[in-house]
Copies of this chain bind each other. A is one copy, B any other.
């Protein structure tokens, strides 16, 4: 009897049809266990995602999953359908955090194909998808656009009509939702007295601390989100790859860099939107992540709540302070890992 063909070979470029929606497997119930693990794996210290009492005082329903945690869960679900045959994860845009994820909520994910463009080499193409994560009541909790370069199954297959979606450079402040009433913010317990008004556009903050990533840590984190892309797990198989070893999931870099950013952004713990993100260079186990931030813009959302548009840059094995004043923040330096652009809520001065 021939070998079964039941295992999933993943989709190739030709399989993505603009307008079609893929429903992704394995819905996941998020529990307090997930939240404890996320903290233990990333070093998350933002008070509203650590304390149920602080969360309530900060306008959230109680202890919730960090929006980046929810993003990784939703992203993880898409891997078997979207990026199993991906050559590169090119970017994120228009990411909206729409609802908090409470323990007991179950997240499901689906992706609509919103663009395709074959590359001139005829071997690969770029696919754009709009991915949505919904909870067990069908309410959207997160939504983002992602584009990836994907291998063609057959180089001889004809190029589809190119459709390239127009994407905003950033989510407009008027489109930010889910920001809380921040009147009763418990500054004594948040780690800082700095508020919206204390930050200036153009200000750059070195987050000082470094965190080394071990193989066991990124593997445990990536499985927590049920992201099973083989490049993160298969040391034997990766020997034949370009890098010869396992690559760390980019979401691990985002979350650790964001946790390091606590030191200087203590009160800006709640992410409202992901404007853009690029994984500039790969991270490998044994590397140490450092981070710095730049305030790109500010927006007043209510009398008690403002938003900072922040650029978070992660570097490896190097003083983040040395990168801050380089031309283009040293973006051609192979030690730059991540360039991430997001909005975060922060209390206003009273």
Could you list which residues of chain A lie within 8 angstroms of chain B, going by C-beta atoms? 1, 3-4, 6-8, 23, 25-29, 31-37, 39-43, 45-47, 50-54, 63, 80, 103-104, 106, 108, 136, 188-192, 194, 198, 200, 202-212, 214-217, 219-221, 223-224, 226, 228, 230, 233-237, 246, 263-266, 286-288, 316-318, 321, 324-325
Contacts and interface: CB of A to CB of B under 8 A. Distances in A.
Nearest to A191: B25
A108 B57 CA distance: 15
B211 A6 contact: no
Determine how many copies of this chain the complex contains: 3
Closest 3 CB pairs of A and B: A33-B36, A25-B191, A33-B33
A70 to B, nearest CB: 15
Contacts of A7: 205-208, 263-264
B34 A3 contact: no
12 contacts: A3-B324, A6-B205, A25-B266, A26-B50, A28-B50, A28-B51, A31-B35, A40-B223, A210-B237, A214-B219, A217-B219, A235-B288
Contacts of A286: 235
Nearest to A188: B23
A77 to B, nearest CB: 10
A215 B28 CA distance: 27
